[in-house]
Amino acid sequence: MRLTIEHQTRYEYQSTVRRSTQYLRLTPQPSRRQRILSWELELPESATQTTDSFGNVLHVLTLDAPHEAIDILARGVVEILEETEDEDTQLSPLIYLRHSDLTRADAAIRDFAAAFAPEADPAFSLEAMMNALLARMPYTPGSTAVSDSAADAFATGSGVCQDHTHVFLACCRSLGLPARYVSGYLYTPDTSHVATHAWSEVWYDDSWHTYDVTNLSRTPNQHLKLAVGIDYLDACPVRGVRYGGGEEAMLAHAAIRLAEEQQQQQQ
């Protein structure tokens, strides 16, 4: 499957920002599952490219001149291959046993996860837990805030992909299974579906295994991975700091299409 991606992000500020720094994890890396055919970032200034502590491609965009808005565009063409899972061994999986403020399991989450403690087959137990979690927390946009923790979302009983992922990570780590947050894009024929997405990967049997709670999917054949981390803050596509500016408004739109459809529209 060959996909075209166009992801626009715009920040608007109430007053002038004196200077700012944006940390951009908007560049996918090639792997067994994804072949990067083309990719580019359009930014207001040149950015420094490096690699963060989790192995993600990181661009650091620093704007020293006063500004009242920032426009960021990521776009490219990626081929999703029919492989199973990535063989990512850059870091010890044990790193992903660590809890964060967003993924710390409370008593309610630990009790929920305990019912799915893996015995002989982790894949079977975790799939059952994924199904039970979505039944317990139906996908409900607007029911949580981006700063809500796994415990907050679990208590609310609803959430979006970020919340599903944080709770699933909390459950897995409480069971002694390394699990990491993944940010990226999801292709669906329904263009009204949110294209930016988050899901989990769990380490067992010497490999990472995908668990997309929101879509009850273990097959990442429509998923394009951008970044991984302990939680959302480690892997979010755009995160920054600024001096001045007052209130902030962020507008984002991501369009994911089959490359064949994109070519037909341009003809």
Provide the CATH number for the domain around residue 44.
2.60.40.2250
Domain that holds residue 48: 2-82+237-266
The reply to whether 116 and 67 lie within a common domain is no
The verdict on 78 and 112 lying in the same domain is no
In a domain, 244, yes or no: yes
Residue 88 lies in a domain: no
User: Same structural domain for residues 116 and 128?
Assistant: yes
Pairing of strands 2-24, 207-211: unpaired
Q: Is 121 helix (H, G, I), strand (E, B) or coil?
A: coil
Q: Are residues 250 and 206 in the same domain?
A: no
Q: For residue 57, tell me if it sits in a domain.
A: yes
Instruction: For residues 75 and 116, state if they share a domain.
Output: no
> Is the same domain home to 98 and 199?
yes
Task: Give the CATH number of the domain where residue 210 resides.
Answer: 3.10.620.30
Same-domain pairing of 21 and 138 = no
CB atoms within 10 A of CB 94: 9
Contact 36/29 with Cβ under 8 angstroms?
Answer: yes
**DSSP bridge partners of 210:** 201
Count the domains in the chain: 2
- Per-residue tens of pLDDT for the chain, all 267 residues: 899 999 999 999 999 999 999 999 999 999 888 999 999 999 999 999 999 999 999 999 999 999 999 999 999 999 998 766 666 667 899 999 999 999 999 999 999 999 999 877 899 999 999 999 999 999 999 999 999 999 999 999 999 999 999 999 999 999 999 999 999 999 988 755 568 999 999 999 989 999 999 999 998 889 999 999 999 999 999 999 999 999 999 999 999 999 876 555 554
Measured between alpha carbons, how far is 114 from 248 in angstroms, rounded to an integer?
A: 41
Closest CA to 5 of 238, 263, 256, 190: 256
Residue 87 lies in a domain: no
- Do 127 and 231 lie in one domain? The reply is yes
Asked whether residue 63 falls in the same domain as residue 118, the answer is no
Q: Are strands 179-186 and 223-229 parallel, antiparallel or unpaired?
A: antiparallel
Alpha helices in 47-144 (DSSP H): 107-114, 122-136
Residues 53, 124, single domain; the answer is: no
Cα end-to-end span (Å), the chain: 20
